[in-house]
Amino acid sequence: MTRVRSTHDQWRAAQGLLSVVTTMKTLASVRSHRYQHAVRALEQSNRTMELALQVALRDHPDLLAGAGLADRATREEHLMVVVFGPGRGLCGPFAERVVRHAVGLLDDRGRAAASTRVVAVGARVARRLRAAGWPAEVTLTPPGSLAAVEDTASDLLTRLDAWLDGSVAPTLMLVYMRPTGSRTSEAYGQQLLPLDVSWLRALAHRTWPSRRLPRTVGDDAVVFRGVIRQYLSLGVVRAFAASQAAENAARLVAMRTAERRVEERIEVLGRRARRERQARVMEEILDVQAGFRVVSEG
């Protein structure tokens, strides 16, 4: 009888766990959808920034020479790497994958650089980076919601501004997970600085999408620097949004797997409880029959 109660208690506990997992799966699905929508919107904004750069460079190709975009081979490299990790757990090997990619990049380029600075977004990636021999100089808290992305990105940009003071020409890399489908993602390394001069030149000669050609207004160099600043800021915000979208997609997959396993466990416990209940009922029937025979024979 004690074992029947124990099985029933396990069944009830599994039912409670299933409720929690289902709730987490629903939240992950909603958040993943929101972040993926934000990523798509930011991609459109990125296209707008490219058009602005195209106008500035088409009208003033000489801006390339004074934009501080020297070839990496002609200067001493100062590397800055920002690694974006998960804000919460229960998302599978998300942190391990992004850190593995970041460590590969750091081992390849960081040891040869004149100086290397690492920023970790999230305590989980910070611990793994430290264990891999690349401790983070700064650890930021990942945004807990879509509304918090802007504030966290602003905090990171403020710190980057303090480092990008003109005394050095750093290489700025962002390492994060980005969605490749509704349930899949990949580790990605994006170089924000220095901007690729060949890409900028190709951008300047790209066909304009309409018949009306806009013109820049104001000081050319100031406008160009402002557009580059906005382009870099947008790159940071996109990295945050992509990382959060990939994290919630990974959590959604993990919760679906957990939900399936809990449902299987509930089914197993249910069958066991029914068998034990039947065995208990049969035992009581046999007891009654034995008692009846004793009374009858007596």
Q: Give the residue ranges of DSSP H helices in 164-219.
A: 197-204
Q: Which domains does the chain have, with CATH numbers?
A: 27-204+219-252 (3.40.1380.10)
- What is the per-residue pLDDT for 249? 92
pLDDT mean over 203-228: 81
The pLDDT confidence band at residue 56, using thresholds 50, 70 and 90, is: confident
pLDDT at 75 over 70: no
Give the pair of three-digit tokens for residue 65. 């020479």
pLDDT at 4 over 50: no
Residue with tokens 């300047």: 204
Q: What is the pLDDT of residues 120-160, one digit of tens each?
A: 999 999 999 999 999 999 999 999 888 888 888 898 888 88
Helix (H) or strand (E) holding 170: strand 170-179
Helix, strand, coil distribution of the chain in percent, nearest 5:
65, 10, 25
- What is the per-residue pLDDT for 67? 52
Average pLDDT value over all residues in the chain: 84
Is there a contact between 177 and 246 (Cβ–Cβ < 8 Å)? yes
pLDDT mean over 198-218: 82
Calpha distance 99→129 (Å, rounded): 7
Task: Identify each DSSP E strand in 22-149 by its residue range.
Answer: 78-84, 115-121, 138-140
